């Protein structure tokens, strides 16, 4: 009977950890999508300083990426950091069209990374 209770406790811990991970990932990538949309608007608008926006996004992402990598891993998360740096470089050079193109790539990459890290029934099968 003790083994059965212990097995139930371990199962409950695993399920709780998985649910917490899923909620955290959804929260991080929801905020990331909002920030990427704000960056896209800033790049399109000549009045906004998109360079400050991308620098702030980069700092935020690096903190979140380190937290995510403590319990999950995807090489695409590091590639996302590189793409952010490329976007910042384009903005520093004044190439807004290239920066906008990179921003669209960042949006797609964020959605792909979210799908990879998120819980899917297909992962079980």
Residue 125 is predicted with a pLDDT of: 63
For 27, phi then psi, to 5°, come to -65, -45
Measure the CA–CA gap between 46 and 49, rounded to whole angstroms.
8
Residue 119 is predicted with a pLDDT of: 75
- Written as six digits, the tokens of 20 are 């917490």
Residue 49 is predicted with a pLDDT of: 83
Domain residue ranges in the chain: 31-118
Residue 117 is predicted with a pLDDT of: 86
**Coil, strand, or helix at residue 123?**
helix
Residue 1 is predicted with a pLDDT of: 85
Reported as a pLDDT band with limits 50, 70 and 90, residue 106 is very high
Residue 54 is predicted with a pLDDT of: 93
Residue 32 is predicted with a pLDDT of: 96
Check if the beta carbon of residue 114 is closer than 8 Å to that of residue 80: no
pLDDT per residue as tens digits for the range 19-49:
888 899 999 999 999 999 999 999 998 777 8
pLDDT per residue as tens digits for the range 57-97:
999 999 999 988 888 888 899 999 999 999 999 999 988 89
Residue appearing with tokens 């003790």: 2
The distance from CA 94 to its chain's CA centroid, rounded to whole angstroms, is 26
Measure the CA–CA gap between 27 and 13, rounded to whole angstroms.
21
């Amino acid at each position: 009977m003790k083994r059965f209770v212990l097995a139930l406790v371990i199962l409950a811990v695993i399920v709780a950890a998985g649910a917490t991970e899923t909620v955290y990932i959804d929260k991080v990538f929801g905020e990331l999508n909002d920030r990427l949309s704000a960056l896209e608007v800033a790049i399109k608008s000549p009045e906004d300083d998109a360079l400050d926006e991308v620098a702030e996004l980069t700092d935020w992402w690096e903190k979140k990426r380190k937290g995510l990598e403590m319990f999950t891993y995807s090489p695409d998360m590091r590639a996302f950091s590189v793409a952010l740096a490329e976007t910042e470089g384009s903005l520093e050079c004044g190439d807004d069209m290239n920066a906008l193109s990179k921003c669209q790539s960042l949006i797609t990459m964020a959605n792909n990374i979210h799908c990879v890290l998120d819980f899917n029934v297909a992962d079980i099968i």
